[in-house]
Amino acid sequence: MMYGKILLVEDEKTLAKALKFSLEKEGFKVDVAYDGEEALQALAGGYPDLVILDLMLPKIDGYEVCREIRRRSDLPIIMLTARDEAIDKILGLELGADDYMTKPFNTRELLARIKAILRRTGQGGASGKKNIKLGDLEIDLIKHKVVVRGCEVSLTSKQYALLSFLASNPGRVYSREQLLEEVWGYVSASDLRTVDVHIRHLREKIEEHPAEPSYILTVWGAGYKFREG
Ligand code: CA
């Protein structure tokens, strides 16, 4: 069993209560905020290990709360959304959430994702490598800093995790399922698009010509790989 502190921001009281119950049963300590203002107040009193954040909230909405959090930290955030369309914005640089779930969702799936995120953020870089240098791309694996053509680029924590994973295994082809498993910690067939969205955002950040990538290559019918040397 694992323990951690979760801030749950959800204005639907029935859902909030049910989720709090399920999470507590798993051993988490859960604080609930029913609107964006309460969420920011709760955060001012100290950070939890993870935030579950509903998008549509009274007073201050989930977008603004997410931006507020990202301004100060890379605290893991899972967004809850009623619609699928917002995925680009949610996972992209604008908000930089770690993951999202579309309502209605399966509580066990949410639990699996929470555990995957906490497992990942709880473990330090075990490999001895300190940085990766290839062409005009440099990745500082200790400071989590990425420099392209002499300029530091800002990546979300998930974009960074994906890039550093691929770049640490150059030339190896990974399917989208494998990348979900390695980087997100779970596999769900409905979420393969998440990988593509992150790859696209990453290419826009690091590639000189995102449409003709030279670092993260598409292997048709198979997946993606990072170029070798
Ligand atoms: Ca809501």
| 71 in the same domain as 13 | yes
Domain boundary among 76, 99, 121: 121
Q: What is the pLDDT along the chain (229 residues), one digit of tens a residue?
A: 456 899 999 999 999 999 999 999 998 999 999 999 999 999 988 889 899 999 999 999 999 999 999 888 888 999 999 877 678 778 877 788 989 999 999 999 999 999 888 877 764 333 446 788 888 999 988 788 999 999 999 999 899 999 999 998 889 999 999 999 888 887 777 788 899 999 999 999 999 999 999 999 999 999 999 998 7
Q: What are the φ and ψ backbone dihedral angles of 150, each rounded to 5 degrees?
A: 85, -5
Instruction: Domain of residue 180: give its range.
Output: 131-226
Domain boundary among 97, 121, 145: 121
Distance from residue 154's CA to the centre of ligand 1 (Å):
30
Inside any domain, residue 126: no
Domain boundary among 92, 121, 150: 121
CA of 164 to the centre of ligand 1 (A): 34
CA of 229 to the centre of ligand 1 (A): 48
